[in-house]
Amino acid sequence: MISPDTTHPPHSLRLRSGNQMMAEGALQAGCTFFAGYPITPATGIFKTMIDLLPARGGVALSAPDEISAVAYCIGASMRGAKAMTATSGPGWALMTESVQYALMTETPLVVALVQRLGPSTGGATQGGQGDVLLAEYCTSGGYTIPILCPTNARECYELTILAFTWAELFRVPVIVLSDKETGMTIESVDVGSLPSITSQNRPSNFAFRELGGFRQNERKGTYYFDAIHEIPVFAPVGGPRKVTATGSAHDKQGRLQKNSPETLEVLLHLEQKVRWRLDDFAVVTADLQPAAGTLIISYGITARAARDAVSEARRMGERVSHLIVHSLFPIPVKKITQAAHNVDEVIVAEENMNGLYRSVIDRHLAGKRVRGVNKIGAMITPQEILEAIMS
């Protein structure tokens, strides 16, 4: 386990894969429960958790399939454990049933989704960024699921900690969307300079009592909230009072209801608790240039090629801005529109055929010429992005 304390002074370079750093970020965040099923290219997270978590008093389980793996995590989280699983596209397809259940039951959960080439079994050892919308829109109703997207091993660590914070604070499933190249490439990480933060914890009765309020919620049911965006106080199963949770449409007590006004309010709340906090979810790296005519938007592994392309274009005298989106969803609309404010053209570079992320952000880029640099089967090169900038 890397600990960002005095064990490693600054400039302690270590070789780490993104998968390893994601597991270590989870441990730093206080994750105590992990379940997984072997799948390339995500197995490294599973393996690292099996190696490190039990020794620290946590639970790491091999599941017979991804359906079980994610369900184990939800059960553990219902008791209060910070829980995580890791998979790739084919396993994600199986997990979506229970991810919907986690969303509906407001159960904190972190899923590492290390993308590979799809569809179906696709290419186990080929990278890709084709699961962006499959991940986001896996729920009936299209409820917003926060998605974080690292571009390198260090960000795998940092964003996994952040994913736990979001999952816990807002009681939602959060996806850390990595990809084969980010997850399996072994690169230098300055482990001495890693942030020493851990993740925050879900609002519990205990915490609210400490803050001197909300105690009345304890008597008002599992999902009680006053304002639509308020996060219900977490009530653990196996605790001092009766807890009911259900994936069926329910009222604030957690009782199955069909379409009572209170049930519809709960459904609205599931979306509004995220929508109301849009600014809190916006994580980007903006490298903007005054008077730039072109803005490159990229994420994940492709952001690294885009960064090279942008510096090369600038060297050649072009004025070009670059926005790396780390929080793909909820879409950081303000950050995107601010970055695109004065440009004529936006180029979205992503390793999928149909310009998946472009298709959902171009509605926020009215009046701009929006183009894509897209490719499948291999990483997009800096040269390909540069050609798009220059053309």
62 forms part of the interface with another protein (CB under 8 A): yes
How open is the CA angle 18-20-25, to the nearest 5 degrees?
90
Q: How many helices (H) and strands (E) does the chain have?
A: 13, 14
Of 14, 47, 277, 368, the one binding another protein (CB under 8 A) is 47
Residue 40 is a binding residue for another protein (CB under 8 A) = yes
Considering only 31-39, 306-314, 350-358, 373-381, which stretch makes contact with another protein by CB under 8 A? 31-39
- What is the smallest separation between the CB atom of 49 and another protein, expressed in angstroms? 9
Q: How far is the CB of 92 from another protein (least distance, A)?
A: 12
Nearest CA to 150 among 357, 331, 315, 298? 298
Is 38 an interacting residue with respect to another protein (CB under 8 A)? Answer: yes
CB nearer to another protein: pick between 50 and 237: 50
138: number of Cβ within 10 Å: 21
Closest CA to 134 of 169, 82, 99: 99
Specify which residues 285 forms β-bridges with. 324
Minimum distance from residue 373 beta carbon to another protein (Å): 31
- Contact between 37 and another protein by CB under 8 A: the answer reads yes
Q: Is 51 near another protein (CB under 8 A)?
A: yes
314 scored as a contact of another protein (CB under 8 A): no
In the complex, least distance from residue 93 CB atom to another protein, rounded to whole angstroms: 8
Find the part of the chain contacting another protein (CB under 8 A) among 59-67, 97-105, 281-289, 379-387: 59-67
**Does residue 169 sit in helix, strand or coil?**
helix
Size of the site for another protein (CB under 8 A): 18
3-state helix, strand, coil in the chain (%, to 5): 40, 20, 40
Residues in the chain: 391
List Cβ neighbours of 128 (8 Å cut-off, separation of 6 or more): 115, 116, 117, 118, 122, 179, 180, 351, 352, 376
Task: Candidates 121, 188, 342, 383: give the one binding another protein (CB under 8 A).
Answer: 121
- Regarding 190 and contact with another protein (CB under 8 A), the answer is no
Sheet strands (E) in 103-144: 109-115
57 part of the interface to another protein, by CB under 8 A: no
Among residues 283, 285, 359, the alpha carbon closest in space to that of 322 is found at 285
Q: Which residues bind another protein (CB under 8 A)?
A: 37-40, 43, 46-47, 50-51, 61-62, 64-66, 90, 120-121, 124
